[in-house]
Structure 1
Amino acid sequence: MFLTMSYRNVLGGLVCSLALVACGGGGSSGTDDTAEPASPGKESGVCGEQVGAVNQAALNTADCKFLSSYRLFADSGDPTAKANGTGTPYDLTTPLFTDYSSKYRFVFVPEGTQATYVSREAFDFPVGTVITKTFSIPADTAFRGPQNESMIETRLMIHRESGWVALPYIWNDDFTDAELRVAGGTVNVTTIHNGQQIDLAYQVPDKNQCKQCHQYSDGSTTGIEPIGPKARLLNRDFDYPSGAGNQLEHWQRAGILAGVPADVHSIETIPAYSDADATLLSGQSDAGLMALAKGYLDVNCAHCHRPEGGASNTGLHLEYWRDYETDPRKHGVCKKPVAYGGGSLSYDVVPGDAANSILHFRMASNQPGDKMPEIGRTIVHDEGLALIEAWIDSLDATTCSS
């Protein structure tokens, strides 16, 4: 079971702000924070139907006040297991860093429909698809799993006729339900990492910040898209109740994804990098460091730093598939910053010299205007920084010049 609320308070007063962002579009149900909160099970209209399978009608049309109104999970108080309908758990080879939180992900594709495989971008999901991601903070990062963690929020991305919308829900004190909020906020929480206590002011982004990360523009239209469900991040085994198996093959067998290559080994795949791997970096080859660093930068930075993203004008494009040898400047090598002053530093990446590279400096900073990523973290990811430092220092030293 999840940690009790009393334990959450011992861990530093987990919920000091109950404000979360509504990162997506509208809907038919009320979400006015100034109104008297409704009680779970007291919603009206399509959101008030509390019994049955997945509430597809509500997903398609309404921003329900309570997460339980969508009936996505058999136990409305546990969004980490036993999904209803086609709900399928998944994980990424290397996850986005969010203040050492654990994340539990599910995809729900409407019955009788399929997503279509796409080689580089997120899959083409049919209207009615919902993706859930639950953020939990462990009491100690050495001991993860729902029984050792305290849930903070569950975010939904729903594909409606008008496009993708994102809705975040914060969990109540006894973990019986989560409630939609429409403004960004701060959640104070404490965790232990590598034996050290970390007091976090966990930040939930506001509406515009959410679009900043999920923005996708094809040149004619601009909207938001999922970030995680891409082939290069999903091409790994997952421990299903029926046994471990490749996620892409499992999705295809389950009938929720079509077009997976016959040989999944042919798919260019981001290698796994976990916090524990930071202690092994000294044993990595230069090629190994390159692959790990490019994978980390892809999942943590490339949703903005690509031609279709919010940071397209910077010239720093960090997709994993982009070849380093033929395009080192796109990776920041000897490239002057475009949208950042740089201070005493002149180049995004100085080969062989992480200490004088803007990329390393901004990842190591927590100062507004300096830190990267700008949102999604409130502390430095030490293990990620160690990887990027090792990678830059492994590059053949070059004297950058104008």
Structure 2
Amino acid sequence: MKKITLLFTILITAFSCQNDDPISPVQDPLIVTEFRQNLSELNLFTGNLSDLNISSRAFKYELNTQLFTDYAHKQRLIALPENTSMQYDGNGLPIFPDNTVIAKTFYYNNDERDLTLGKTIIETRVLIKINGEWQTGDYKWNADQTEAVLDLNGSTVPVTWIDSNGVTNSINYKVPSNTDCFTCHRTYENITPIGPKLRNMNFEVNGLNQLDDFINQQYLTGLQGSSEVSSIVNWEDPSASLEDRARSYFEVNCAHCHIEGGDCETLSTLRLAFESSLEDSQIVQRKFSISLRISEYNEGFSMPFTGTTIVHDEGVALLQAYLDTL
């Protein structure tokens, strides 16, 4: 009987210890907040790099209207330091804490009709906020899709893909240099993000408002809910007004240069931020110039200056329809 009692006591003790000291879940490695030679060294992704599985220490974000880049698809992510958040600062960019990493990966599906045929990843652009200032770096993916290497000088990559209509498309995709990055990300003499403005993230993703989700996850603080933020529309949404769709397109594709402190501040009178009034935007006065410079691709003349090598037919059709009403 004593032996049975002793065995029972040992089992109870072992069970109690197991409950008091649960096995901690394995955490992904910390995000590296400096530019390394290889993308894999930043720990933004887990598993096979080309699968683009985002680390649990980062989160994905979407934009209601997206920048056109020669029909490339994009995956966007933000990695915040532990126990920090983005802080609400109006409808534009939130205030990001130091050591925030923002990354955008550009890729083409090999055949839009059959996604099981895989994708070709071209580049991953990275912004890191270091000591209060944003720094840029671009990682170019190798042909084997096993790694991306830091490339600050830019290059040209031939790309071929089949679109949803079964048409084969071929372009010479331009990976930007660090100088090109500064051209678009410039606000006076500082580098700033372009895409993650709150007004362009204020929409439903998978049935839940994205900003409300960020607030619930404590990624975004300083406001109670998404109703406190204005929003631009999806330029492809036919239920929105033609004016709102066109102004949203201008906001994302053109305004980062055509604003005070932007690269085109002294080169053009256009001011294309969504909140600019039609009178202040100068769109009416410049509509013939706009039409000319978006309707053909001529390097050094067509708009935008950088980031594309072909005309965005659908975008041009939208803008031209809007300009024709003015």
Correspondence 1:268 to 2:230: yes
One-letter amino acid matched to 1:121 = G
**Among candidates 275, 296, 308, match of residue 321 of structure 1:** 275
**Among candidates 166, 175, 200, match of residue 171 of structure 2:** 200
- Structural mapping, 1:272-351, within 5 Å: 272-274=234-236, 288-313=241-266, 314-324=268-278, 327=279, 330-334=281-285, 348-349=286-287
Tell me the alpha carbon deviations over residues 237-284 of structure 1, each in whole angstroms, 9 at most, x when there is no partner. 223xxxx4211111111112112343x24532111124xx6xx6xxx7
SS of the counterpart of 2:139? strand
Alpha-carbon distance between aligned partners in 2 of 1:93 and 1:213, rounded to the nearest angstrom: 20
- Structural mapping, 1:370-385, within 5 Å: 370-385=301-316
One-letter amino acid matched to 2:180 = Q
Correspondence 1:216 to 2:169: no
Tell me the alpha carbon deviations over residues 148-182 of structure 1, each in whole angstroms, 9 at most, x when there is no partner. 42111111111111511111112223322211112
- Structural mapping, 1:38-49, within 5 Å: none
1:362 alignment counterpart: 293
Q: Is the 8 A contact 2:120 2:145 kept in 1?
A: no
Identity over aligned pairs, percent: 34
The alpha carbon displacement at 1:195 in A equals 3.6
More deviation, 386-395/171-180 = 171-180
Tell me the alpha carbon deviations over residues 291-327 of structure 1, each in whole angstroms, 9 at most, x when there is no partner. 0000000000000101131111212000011122xx2
SS of the counterpart of 1:394? coil
The alpha carbon displacement at 1:76 in A equals 4.6
2:202 alignment counterpart: 235
One-letter amino acid matched to 1:77 = L
Q: Is the 8 A contact 1:248 1:260 kept in 2?
A: no
2:65 alignment counterpart: 94
TM-score (norm. length: structure 1): 0.70
Structure 1 stretches of 4+ with a deviation exceeding 6 A read: none
In the alignment of these two chains, the number of paired residues is: 299
One-letter amino acid matched to 2:73 = S
Alpha-carbon distance between aligned partners in 2 of 1:164 and 1:69, rounded to the nearest angstrom: 19
Larger Rg: 2
Q: Is the 8 A contact 1:118 1:231 kept in 2?
A: no
One-letter amino acid matched to 1:245 = L
Gaps of 5+ in 1: 1-50, 335-347, 350-356, 396-402
Gaps of 5+ in 2: 1-25
One-letter amino acid matched to 1:273 = W
One-letter amino acid matched to 2:275 = W
Q: 1:79 to 1:297 in 2, by over 3 A?
A: farther
Q: 1:79 to 1:163 in 2, by over 3 A?
A: farther
What's the RMSD between the two structures over aligned residues?
2.2
TM-score (norm. length: structure 2): 0.85
**Among candidates 125, 136, 161, match of residue 191 of structure 1:** 161
Alpha-carbon distance between aligned partners in 2 of 1:157 and 1:146, rounded to the nearest angstrom: 31
Q: 1:238 to 1:79 in 2, by over 3 A?
A: farther
Tell me the alpha carbon deviations over residues 34-68 of structure 1, each in whole angstroms, 9 at most, x when there is no partner. xxxxxxxxxxxxxxxxx974444x41xx4211111
1:71 alignment counterpart: 43
SS of the counterpart of 1:318? coil
1:129 alignment counterpart: 100
The alpha carbon displacement at 1:383 in A equals 0.3
Tell me the alpha carbon deviations over residues 357-400 of structure 1, each in whole angstroms, 9 at most, x when there is no partner. 111111112112321001101100000000001101122xxxxx
Q: Is the 8 A contact 1:71 1:84 kept in 2?
A: no
Q: Is the 8 A contact 1:89 1:107 kept in 2?
A: yes
Correspondence 1:107 to 2:78: yes
